[in-house]
Amino acid sequence: MFEDLQAKATKILCTEYGISDCSVAWERPAQPEFGDLATPVSMQLAKTLKKNPKVIAGVLAEQLAKDSSVEKAEVAGPGYVNVWLKPEALLGELKHTREACTAKVTRKEAPVIVEYSSPNIAKPLGIHHILTTVIGQVIANLYMHEGYNVKTVNHIGDWGTQFGKLYVAWKQWGNGDLDKKTVDELLALYVQFHDEEEKNPGLEVEARNAFRQLEEGNDDIRAFWKTVVDISMREIHALYERLHVHLAYEHGESMYENAMQPIVEEGKKKKIFSLGKEGAFIADLEQENLPPAIVIKGDGGTIYLTRDLATVRFRIDEWQPQASLYVVGQEQQLHFQQLFAIVKKLGWQLPHLEHVSFGRMHFADGKMSTRKGKILKLEDVLDEATERAADLIKSRGDSIQSDDPQALAEMMGVGAVVYGIISQNRKMDILFDWDKALSFEGNSAPYLQYTHARARSILRKAEVKNEVPFPKDADSFSNVERSLVGGLLRFPEVILEARASHMPHVLATYLYQLCQNFNAFYNSEPILQSPEPQKSLRIALTALTATVLKSGAELLTLRVPDRM
Ligand code: ARG
C-alpha cells in the first residue's frame, strides 16, 4: 500500500546520498498525532552515512512534502519522518480494503493442507477439542481467502485397540439397537469395560483378539465398527455446524491400514528402522537430538506414528502439496518432531511441514471437568454459552432488539466461546473467562457483534446499500476520522500477517481496535445529521467498517447480526 510514495522516498534518499540500498521501511503510527505513515529510515542510514539522522530526516521530509499526495511531512523525535496524507489519497487507498473483504479466486497451484480437529471416535468431543477445531478452521479460512488451493483434512482417530474393547463390552452388556445409541452411551460401555477388566483380566485378551479380527476384516466386527464411526461422526458434524466448521476431507486413520507395510519395509531397507527390544522396530533419531521412536510394536502391530507416516506419503502422492500444516496441541510436539525427522530420513520429496501447536485451555473459574472428574463436553459448554447469552439479552431489556432472540443467543454465545479462544495468542496457555467472553465492552464477540449491528443500523437509517462509494475528495479529516481511516487501511495487511504467521489472534486484535476506532468516531461525530460533504464521507466510512467487521468476523468463524 502507498507503494508509489514508498518508492519515491527510496529514490529521494538514494539520489541525495548516492547510495544504492536505502529501502525505506514504513510503519503505521498507532496515534493520529504521528501522522498516517512514519519511517525510522534516517536513524538506520545515519551510521552508514555518518550523518545526523535529523538532517537526513529533514531532507526526506522536505522532498516528500512536495508530493501531490502528501499534506505535510515532519521530522519527529530523534529522526523519524511522519507523513500526513491528503484525504483524497487516503480515500483512494481504501479500495484495497474493500477488495480484501471478498475472497480471492482460488489459484491453480500446489495445495496447502490444513489438518485440524482430528477427534477420536466413540468419545464425545471435550471442550479442549475446540482449540484445534477453531484455530485450524481460521487458518484454513485465511488461506482460502487469499486464493490458496486449500485441502482441509480431518485425521479421525477411528482405529486402535479401543474398538476391540468397545466390541467386547457391547457383546457383554449392550442391549437394544446399536445405531440408536449415543456417543455418551458408548462411552459408558467403554468405562464399564475398564472397571470390569480390573476384576477379569481375560477381557483384555478378548479385546485384543477382537481388534485383530477387525483388522482382518471380520464382517460382524467391521459392521459394528462402521456403525460406531457413523454415530460419532453424526454428533461431531452437528457440533461443527454450530461452530461454522467444515472439513472437506475426512480420512480416518483406518484408511492407512494397508499403506503402512510398504513404508515399514522401505524404512528397514534404508536402515532407518532397526530391530529393537522384544521384536519392536525403532527409528534411531540420535543425530536429530530426539529420543528413538517405535514404529512397529513387539507384537507386530502398528501405532499412531506408523499411521502418520503413511498419511504423509498418501498426501504427497495424492495432492503434491506445497505445505502441510498440523494444527495439534503442543503436548504432541515430540510426536511431530519425530514424524518430520523420520520422513526426512526416508528421503521423500517433502512439502513444508509444520506443527502449528497451541497451549492448553483453562477456565478462569478453574473448572475444566465436571464434578465427577469427567472432561467437560464441548456440546455442554456451547449450550451453557447460549443460555448465558440468552440471559444477557433478557437482562438488557429494550436496549437489545432482535427478531429472533434464540438465534441471536446462539450467535452470541457460541461466538463468545470461539472468540474468547481465538483472540488469544495460541502459543500461550489459553485462559477462558466467561465474564470477559460475554462482555459488551471488552475484546469480545458481543462487542464486535454489537458494533457491527450499530453500523448497520446507521446504514438502514441512511437508506443506503452495503457498498457506498467514497466521495472523491474531502477537505480535511478530524482525528477520529483519520484514526478510523487508518484502521480500515490496515485490514489487508493484517489478514496477510495473520495468515503468514498462522496467528488468528492478530486478526481478532485488529477487529477489536477497529471497533474502538469506529465507536470513538460514532461517539464524537454526528453522521446522519452532519452537512454534506461530511455526511456522505461518514456514511461511506460506516459502510466500509461494517463490511470489514463482517468479513473479518467470518474469517474467525463468527457471525455478526444486522441488528441487536
Ligand atoms: N486424534 C489425535 C488425538 O486426538 C490427533 C491427531 C492429530 N493429527 C495427526 N496427524 N497425528 O490426539
Q: Provide the CATH number for the domain around residue 547.
A: 1.10.730.10
Residue 444 and residue 438 in contact, taking contact as beta carbons nearer than 8 Å = yes
What is the rounded distance in angstroms from the CA atom of residue 275 to the CA atom of residue 264?
12
Q: Are residues 208 and 342 in the same domain?
A: yes
Domain membership flag for residue 171:
yes
For the residues 496-508, what does the mean pLDDT come to?
A: 98
Cβ–ligand 1 distance for 329 under 6 Å, the answer no
Q: Provide the CATH number for the domain around residue 9.
A: 3.30.1360.70
Q: Are residues 207 and 74 in the same domain?
A: no
Residue 157 and residue 119 in contact, taking contact as beta carbons nearer than 8 Å = yes
Domain count along the chain: 3
Confidence of residue 136 (pLDDT cuts 50, 70, 90): very high
Cβ–ligand 1 distance for 340 under 6 Å, the answer no
Confidence of residue 44 (pLDDT cuts 50, 70, 90): confident
Cβ–ligand 1 distance for 326 under 6 Å, the answer yes
Q: Are residues 21 and 69 in the same domain?
A: yes
What is the rounded distance in angstroms from the CA atom of residue 24 to the CA atom of residue 63?
14
Domain membership flag for residue 56:
yes
Q: Provide the CATH number for the domain around residue 132.
A: 3.40.50.620
What is the rounded distance in angstroms from the CA atom of residue 492 to the CA atom of residue 507?
10
Per residue in 275-304, pLDDT tens? 998 899 999 999 999 999 999 999 888 899
Q: Are residues 205 and 331 in the same domain?
A: yes
Q: Are residues 233 and 132 in the same domain?
A: yes
Q: Are residues 401 and 353 in the same domain?
A: no
Reference 550, options 491, 504, 502; nearest CA is 491
Domain membership flag for residue 189:
yes
Per-chain mean pLDDT for the chain: 94
Q: Are residues 456 and 349 in the same domain?
A: no
Q: Are residues 407 and 478 in the same domain?
A: yes
Confidence of residue 372 (pLDDT cuts 50, 70, 90): low
For the residues 505-534, what does the mean pLDDT come to?
A: 96
Site to probe by mutation for ligand 1, drawn from 155, 229, 249, 255 as the one with most ligand atoms within 8 Å of Cβ, is 155
Domain membership flag for residue 291:
no
pLDDT > 60? residue 1: no
Cβ–ligand 1 distance for 118 under 6 Å, the answer yes
Q: Are residues 339 and 413 in the same domain?
A: no
**Residues 6+ away with beta carbon under 8 Å from 490:** 28, 510
Instruction: Kindly report which listed range (440-449, 462-471, 541-550) carries the lowest average pLDDT score.
Output: 462-471
For residue 141, what are the domain limits? 112-256+304-358
Domain membership flag for residue 380:
no
pLDDT on residue 225: 97
Write out the DSSP string of 185-216: HHHHHHHHHHHHHHH-THHHHHHHHHHHHHHH
pLDDT on residue 6: 86
Confidence of residue 370 (pLDDT cuts 50, 70, 90): low
Q: Are residues 351 and 403 in the same domain?
A: no
For the residues 134-140, what does the mean pLDDT come to?
A: 98
**Residues 6+ away with beta carbon under 8 Å from 14:** 20, 22
Per residue in 450-472, pLDDT tens? 999 999 999 999 998 777 888 87
Q: Are residues 237 and 308 in the same domain?
A: yes
Cβ–ligand 1 distance for 157 under 6 Å, the answer yes
Q: Are residues 354 and 416 in the same domain?
A: no
Spacing, Cα 153 to ligand 1 middle (Å):
11
Question: Measuring CA to CA, how many Å separate 273 from each of 277, 306, 353?
Answer: 13, 12, 21
Cross-strand pairs, 554: none
What predicted TM-score, i.e. pTM, was given to this entire model? 0.95
Spacing, Cα 65 to ligand 1 middle (Å):
57
What is the rounded distance in angstroms from the CA atom of residue 501 to the CA atom of residue 90?
27
pLDDT on residue 19: 86
